[in-house]
Structure 1
Amino acid sequence: MQSCQTIIVKNPTLPLDDIERSLTKTYRKDIYRPFVQAISEYELVEPGDKIAVALSGGKDSLILAKLFQALKKQNKFPFEVVFLSMDPGFREENRALLENNCAYLGIPIVIKDSNIFNVVGKIASDNPCYMCARMRRGFLYKAAIDMGCNKLALGHHFDDVIETTMMSIFYNGQFKTMVPKIEAENFENIELIRPMINVKEKDIVRWINHSGIQAMNCGCTVVAEKTSSKRREIKELIDHLRKTNPDIDQNIFNAGANVNIEAILGYQSDQGKKHFNELYKERRKQK
């Protein structure tokens, strides 16, 4: 389950022009540039793409939508973007908040209704978050395909990456990180992309406070504002380690790109598992 961080914005809402300008001026170094760098490095957006930006109503998806609008204005290469949201059973006030924020921010959102919250609450009450995430993603994939899109963009950021990496090590006994793009399971001709993996959550929070936009904190009606205890533990651990090692979060992130294949006990892929002995023998043959 992702953390539902409660953020109460106290600053007055800025005019739309000021909000949009701040992304490419005030927050260019910390937000817009890392966004563009990820798109370039991992080839997330290519000429001719039609991208569905998924909007949950939270801070991450709102800023992702505005970043794509800013990128589109640069007009460096042709691509289309649409803004897609799924109402899984929001309370009326949360649905209204989503619609009002998108209207104010100039985001032409398409909202598809579903009853996922109700279904998940009945069939997976013990562990609803995993089931909900899978059902929501499948719904979004299908909706994006129906809109003619070949990519679905999600608002996962830098902190999501390092927390997921640590949770994988601590609780699942494997090294598995959150990657910039993946091919959709069970759906053809569509990829999932994560253009904000270089953007830190603290900078997103700074921008949302600066803009004066009160984003949705937690729209879930099943577990409400609860946070995964495991994810909370990892957040607190990283915060603690950062006090003595300010680079700890960046080092965790970089580990995903610096795996030494000659210093591991084995790995697994779609082709199956490879044991250390097999890897060792293969290296000896190459000498």
Structure 2
Amino acid sequence: MGKLLEPSQNIERSIMKKYRKELWNPFIKAVKNYELVQENDKIAVCISGGKDSMLMAKLMQLLQRYGDVPFELTFLVMDPGYNEKNRKKIEENAKILNVPITVFETNIFDVANSVDKSPCYLCARMRRGYLYSKAKELGCNKIALGHHFDDVIETTLIGMFYASQLKAMIPKLHSTNFEGMELIRPMYCIHEEDIIAWMNYNGLEFIQCACRFTENYTLNNNEGGMSKRQEIKMLIRQLKKDNPLIDKSIFNSIHAVSLDTMPGYKTHGKTYSFLDNYYNNERSEEQL
């Protein structure tokens, strides 16, 4: 009779075997194609307690164990003011997944919920700053966030529909406020539906968005309607009924932007028009 596996071992096996095609392979694809992990990196894996960041923690842990490139990991949990139930749930899940977390506390929820305008934007900005700061204090040169494939395409469409800009979410970027620090997104090629399938298969339960603003929004019967991201999710779901590959098409399009066809674009903080070089760089319709 074979030896019984620990829960964390069964979870790891599900990643490497049952969901290898859906989770492990696209994870490795992103790490390699976007050059997210280099030798001797010390990466702070930022865990919010949700399904995405918890899976990312396991993927990074497995990459460190089985990969060819040596690097260090710190599993960083920032408590922005969770209630006792959510804090306990994060700690319990970390034990189940065998992820050794480092927890530090902030008052972000108190600050963000004290303002009337854009509390979610302020919360996100503060979270990012605290994570960079703590990671740097611990000697890390990178932070890893759990944004996935669906986040990428939804963010692109939100920018187009509601902010009048064609702006994507890139797989990694240099911090502008913390010198020498980078942000990486190892889940960039993983679909949310596959994360949910993995979670359900293993009988795991993770916290949802745990902020007080969202809790109040829910208690008030979603007064004011759904969020812009929820609207985009529903739109994509509807469009996929006629074109099942439309999400992949959106994703691929941000990898193949043709600036020659754009009437305007921004780079390095400057705005450019197609007229800037129009008369010095004549091209025929056939070339465009």
Contact 1:48–1:78 under 8 Å retained in 2: yes
1:185 to 2:183 alignment: no
Using the alignment, how far apart are the partners of 1:62 and 1:142 within structure 2? 21
What amino acid is aligned across from residue 34 of structure 1 in structure 2? P
User: 2:29 aligned with 1:37, yes or no?
Assistant: yes
Alignment partner of 1:176: what SS? coil
Output the CA distance in 1 between the equivalents of 2:104 and 2:183.
Answer: 19
TM-score by length of 2: 0.91
Pick one of 48, 59, 82 that aligns with 2:40.
48
Residue 19 of structure 1 corresponds to 11
After TM superposition, list the pairs within 5 Å mapping 1:211-230 onto structure 2: 211-224=202-215, 225=218, 229-230=227-228
Q: Distance in 1 between matches of 2:101 and 2:265?
A: 42
Matching residue of 1:4: none
Gaps spanning 5+ residues in structure 1: where?
1-13
Q: Which residue of 2 aligns with 1:164?
A: 155
Matching residue within 129, 138, 151 for 1:138:
129
**TM-superposed deviation, 1:282:** 4.3
Query: Aligned partners of 2:268 and 2:203: how far apart in 1?
Result: 46
Kept in 1, the 8 Å contact 2:7–2:96? The answer is: no
- Per-residue CA deviations over 1:114-145 (Å, capped at 9, x if unaligned) read 111001111x2332100000000000000000
Dislocated runs of 4+, deviation >6 Å: none
Q: Note if 1:60 corresponds to 2:52.
A: yes
Task: Check if 1:204 corresponds to 2:205.
Answer: no
Q: Given the two structures, how large is their TM-score scaled by the length of structure 1?
A: 0.91
Equivalent-residue separation in structure 1 for 2:277 and 2:16 (angstroms): 47
Deviation of 1:222 (Å): 2.3
Please say which structure displays the higher CA radius of gyration: 2
**Percentage of pairs with the same residue:** 47
In the alignment of these two chains, the number of paired residues is 272
Distance 2:96 2:280 in 1: 59
Aligned counterpart in structure 1 of residue 167 of structure 2, from 176, 181, 199: 176
**Contact in 2 for aligned 1:183/1:190 (Cα 8 Å):** yes
Aligned counterpart in structure 2 of residue 73 of structure 1, from 58, 65, 68: 65
Residue 111 (structure 2) aligned to one of 119, 134, 137 = 119
Q: How far 1:271 sits from its partner (Å)?
A: 4.8
Which residue of structure 1 lines up, in the alignment, with residue 251 of structure 2?
A: 253
Amino acid at match of 2:257: V
| Secondary structure of the structure 1 residue equivalent to 2:126 | helix
